[in-house]
Each structure stands twice: as C-alpha cells, then as structure tokens.
Amino acid sequence: MTSLFTSHRLGGLTLPNRVVMAPMTRIRATAEGLATPSMAAYYAQRATAGLIVSEGVQPSLIGQSSPGTPGLHTDEQVTSWQPVTEAVHANGGRIFAQIMHGGRVSHPDTTGVQPIGPSAVAAVGDVFTPTGPRPAPVPRALDTAEVAEHAQSYARAARRAVDAGFDGVELHGANGYLIAQFLASNANLRTDRYGGPVANRIRFAVEAAASTVDAVGGARTGIRLSPGAEFWGVRETDVRKLYTELLTELARLEVAYVHLEATVDEETLIGLRRAWPGTLVMNPVQPMGPKQTGRDDADHWLGLGADLISFGRAFIANPDLVERLRGSLPMAPADEATYYQGGDAGYLTYSSHQYAA
C-alpha cells in the first residue's frame, strides 16, 4: 500500500510526503484583506507538509464571506502575501492559495454591498459580520450576462496568487460557497443555461476552472468539492451523477487535483475516485465534525486509492504534524476558543513535540 511518507508528483512539484494541510479560516488578516507577518510565521511553521493549502482568499470584495479574511484582488494584497510564500519556500514547503468566493454567504455589513448568488435564496443560518453574527440576507440573483464575470474572478485571483509567489491555487467549490451554490438544486433555481439539469448546474464550476486553467495552467489548478454536503443549507440532487459529470469535465481540463471531503457515503466517494483519473486529495472525516483526521483514516483512504490526505484541525495545534504522524507521537489538543479570535494566541503559540530527556 502507498505510504503517507512517500513522495508524489503534483503538476510541476514533487511533494516529499502525502500530507496536505487543508484550508482553514483563521481570521488573522487586516481589515484591508492584507496578509500579516504572523500569517507568514504560521504557514512557515507547517512547511513540512507535502502541500499547504491556504485559508480561503476572496477574489473580489463582493466575494468576501467573513471579516478578517485575506484577499487577492488588489496590488497591496499581492504584496502582503509575498513574505508568506517566501517564508514557506525558505522552510522547504509548497503552498497553494485557496480562492473562495462566498456568494450568498456574506453580509453588507462586511462588504458594503448586497451579496450575490445564483438565485434570490438566502443561506441558512447566521453569517459573521464585524458586529457579530447576523441572519444571512437574501442575495441578488445574478443576471445571465453577469455570471461569467464571477467565474473569471477565480482566474484573476489565480494570476495574482502566482504573482504573490504561490505554487498554485485551489478553487473552493465546497461547503456551500458560490460554486457549491450553483451545484445545489435548492440554491440554484435558475431557468437559463446555468440552472436545471446537471449539465447546466455544473457549468459555473467548469467555467471557473477553465478560466483558471487558461490563466495559470492546469498544473497549478486544483478544486475542492463536498459531494452531498448541506453546509449553509445547500442541498444537491442526483449527487453521484452531478459529481461524476463534473469530474469528467474537470478531467478534460487536466486540473492538477480534485480535493474531496467525506461528506457523502464511502461507496459514492469510491465511485468518484474511479471516475477521476488524476491526483485525488482526500479529507477523510466530516469537516467540523466530532472527529479529527488521524493516521488510521489516512491509511484507510490511501488503500482505497487516494493519492494525498488532507488534515485540517490537527495542523492547528501540531505545526510538526508530519513528524508526529511519522513517529506515532501524541497529538496536542487545539483550543477551539482561539480558532477565530485573532491575535497570536492559539495561532503561533503551539510548539513542536518535546522529547523527554
């Protein structure tokens, strides 16, 4: 069976191991969406991962979901990310930027504008704002002529990511954000070429991926998906057909990888592995569920055909996660209260494993 600690070729990169640091929102950017020196230190501490995928980065102001998240839509934001990528590379790592358009999961108090979505259907739940949680507002439904602009925003951000020194980008097509909203049959009520049958519901995702591949190349483009998930109230019909057809189109584009979350039954996920001919990154446990990904989960999915395994929360308190996994060392617990509070506490204050004298 493939080992978690063998190398893997991904596009133009050779990953020294198959451990991927999953994207995790940490709310540490400035009010202007700039990356900070603390963010450079945070990612550099975790550079032994085969690949780091950054927190979600908005491709436009209207694409911002929560306050305190970074962007890649201004020259100043590009400049602010350069010390981050330089720090990761100096420590021997590789890093992709996750491009995340929130779509309807946003609020005017955060961006100053009404959120947009495939249809005028509000997300389920409260969204984060500068003054605290607020009910998700009804988004403005995009006109057909506007949709391409938002698909292309991923590509524009990808070009900026490469300028900032990132090794590539991952499109956030999961967890109820804009791409997932177009895939969902209850958030996407459109009757034009972007709504209705599966071939139409996958169109936005395919156009976003295609424009990104045109901008930075397939070897630098990945996408994260959460089949059957119901984050922010999205619901999908014909899940297996929906994602099989989407993976077929992504294979034609020759994107570097697909990153799947374990948000549907294992049989369906195995079927999607068979439908996808390229590199598969697997996140083996339900995001934000009660269990964190461990070594057994990783080995299980490597045995089922995954190429790389992503670890999320385990990386928060264990910057040396690869070494801990390799040596079967105990995992430090993370302080959930500091996930999103800002500052360096619970961000830069976790240390590597200390061996007894």
d(CA 278, CA 152): 24
Residue 356, domain member (yes or no): no
Any idea which of 206-210, 267-271, 290-294, 339-343 has the lowest mean pLDDT?
290-294
For the chain, give the percent of residues with pLDDT over 90: 94
Residue range(s) defining the domain that contains residue 324: 8-338
One of 42, 177, 243, 350 is an active-site residue; which one?
177
275-327 pLDDT, tens digit per residue, is: 999 999 999 987 767 778 889 999 999 999 999 999 999 999 999 999 999 99
Residue linked to tokens 């374990």: 262
Alpha helices in the chain (DSSP H): 37-45, 75-90, 108-111, 144-163, 178-183, 198-201, 203-216, 239-253, 266-275, 295-303, 314-317, 321-326
pLDDT class of 357 with cuts at 50, 70, 90: low
Residue at 2 is within a domain = no
Report yes or no on 351 lying in a domain: no
At 290 the pLDDT is 72
DSSP single-letter state for residue 51: E
Question: Which DSSP string corresponds to 195-241?
Answer: SSSHHHHTHHHHHHHHHHHHHH-GGGEEEEE-TT--GGG---SSHHH
- Give yes or no: 177 in active site: yes
Q: Across all residues in the chain, what is the average pLDDT?
A: 96
Count of domains for the chain? 1
49-107 pLDDT, tens digit per residue, is 999 999 999 999 999 999 999 999 999 999 999 999 999 999 999 999 999 999 999 99
Task: Tell me if 331 is assigned to some domain.
Answer: yes
Whether the pTM exceeds 0.95: the reply is yes
User: Does residue 22 fall inside a structural domain?
Assistant: yes
b (16+ CB within 10 A) / e for 83-99: bbbebbeeeebbbbbbb
Q: Let me know if residue 352 belongs to a domain.
A: no
CATH number reported for the structural domain that contains residue 90 in this entry: 3.20.20.70
